[in-house]
Amino acid sequence: MNKEAANTKRIPFFKMSGSGNDFILIDNRRQDFEDSQLSRFIVNVCRRKLSAGADGLILIESSTMADFKWRFYNSDASRADMCGNGARCAARYAFVNGIAGPELTFETDVGIVSASIVADRVKVGMTDPSEVTPNIMLDLVAGSRQMAAINTGVPHVVLEVPDLETTDVCGIGREIRYHQRFAPAGSNVNFITSLAEDTIAVRTYERGVENETLACGTGSIAAALVKAARHGTGSPIHVKTRGGTLLTIHFTRRGGRFRDVYLEGDARIIYSGEMWPEAWA
C-alpha cells in the first residue's frame, strides 16, 4: 500500500435500499463524527454521481434503553424524526453486523421502535399516527384540491388522483410542501390511486429530498391509513411504490383511531465498502 493510501482515513459504510428508498448506513457507536462537520459530510456523500449518493444517511449509535439508537438525516442534512424504509434498513444492518438479534428494538426521535427480520424482509412497529385530518380543501395555483393530512412520525398529505402517470408529482408536491397551511415545517406529499380493494399505488414528493423518491415508508403508511379512513378498507393494505415493490401496512382501528401500525417490506443490502475523503470533499 502506498503512503497516501496508508495515511488516508476511510469510513466503512453500507449502501441499502428499502423498496427503492436508498440510504448510507454508518456504525457510529464510537462517536467518530463531530456534529459541527456532520451537515457538510451528509450533503456531500449523498450527492448522486459525485459520491455514494442516497436519499438519506443513518448513523447507528449505542443505546442504554434498546439494542441501538439511530440518527436519521435526509440528503439535505435535515434531521427527520422517523423514516419507515430507513428503519427497516437500520434494523437489518444491525442484525447483519451482530449489533442485535432478529427481534430487536432501537431508539428514534419518536420513541422506541421494534422490528423483526426474516431473510431480507423486515417488519417494523411504527408509532401511532396523530393529527389525522381526513378532509382538507386547499387553494392551489390550479384551483382548490381536496386532500387529507396525517402524521405517521413525520407529516404527510395524501391526495387521491385518477391517474398517477400523468400527475405532476414534483410541481404539485412542491407547492403543497411549502404551502402556508403546513408552515413552517412543511409536509411530505403523496398521490394515490386504487388498484384493488386492498391495494393502492403511490407516488411521493419527499420533504428534505425535495424531489420524488422511489418509495417512502411513512408515506406508504399515510396513504394506506387515509384509504382505510375514507373507504373503510381493513388491514392489511398493500402499497405499490414507484420503485415497483410492494409494502404491506398492518394496523388495527379502535374508536376511530389507528393503532398497532406495522410496516413490512424488503430491506436490501446493495453493497458495503469504504468511503475515501474524496467522497465528502
Regarding whether 231 and 111 lie in a shared domain, the answer is: no
Question: Of the listed 46, 89, 170, 216, which one is catalytic?
Answer: 216
Regarding whether 141 and 51 lie in a shared domain, the answer is: no
CB of 40 closer than 8 Å to CB of 47: no
Regarding whether 104 and 183 lie in a shared domain, the answer is: no
CA distances from 273 to 37, 145, 258 (A): 21, 46, 41
User: Which CATH number characterizes residue 231's domain?
Assistant: 3.10.310.10
Give me the pLDDT at residue 84, please. Answer: 93
CB of 75 closer than 8 Å to CB of 55: yes
The arithmetic mean of pLDDT across residues 152-171, rounded, is 96
Q: Which of 51, 75, 20 is nearest to 281 (CA)?
A: 51
Q: Is the pLDDT of residue 5 over 80?
A: no
What is the spatial distance between Cα 261 and Cα 72, in angstroms, rounded to a whole number? Answer: 20
Regarding whether 96 and 144 lie in a shared domain, the answer is: no
Regarding whether 273 and 165 lie in a shared domain, the answer is: no
Q: Is the pLDDT of residue 97 over 80?
A: yes
Q: How many domains does the chain have?
A: 2
Regarding whether 147 and 48 lie in a shared domain, the answer is: no
Regarding whether 105 and 20 lie in a shared domain, the answer is: yes
Residues above pLDDT 70, as percent of the chain:
97
The arithmetic mean of pLDDT across residues 94-100, rounded, is 98
Regarding whether 218 and 162 lie in a shared domain, the answer is: yes
- Report residue 41 as a C-alpha cell: 459530510
Regarding whether 153 and 115 lie in a shared domain, the answer is: no
Regarding whether 232 and 112 lie in a shared domain, the answer is: no
Helical H runs in the chain?
A: 3-6, 35-45, 84-96, 169-177, 217-231
Regarding whether 166 and 272 lie in a shared domain, the answer is: no
pLDDT single digits (tens) 22-35: 999 999 999 888 78
Regarding whether 119 and 80 lie in a shared domain, the answer is: yes
Q: Which of 68, 69, 34, 41 is nearest to 57 (CA)?
A: 41
- Is 83 labeled as catalytic in the residue annotation? yes
What domain range is 256 assigned to?
130-265
- Report residue 276 as a C-alpha cell: 475515501
CB of 110 closer than 8 Å to CB of 39: no
Q: Is the pLDDT of residue 8 over 80?
A: no
- Sorting pLDDT into bands at 50, 70 and 90, what band is 1? very low
What's the farthest any 2 CA atoms get from each other in the chain?
A: 67
Average pLDDT for the chain: 94
- The three-state secondary structure class of 180 is helix
- Is 89 labeled as catalytic in the residue annotation? no
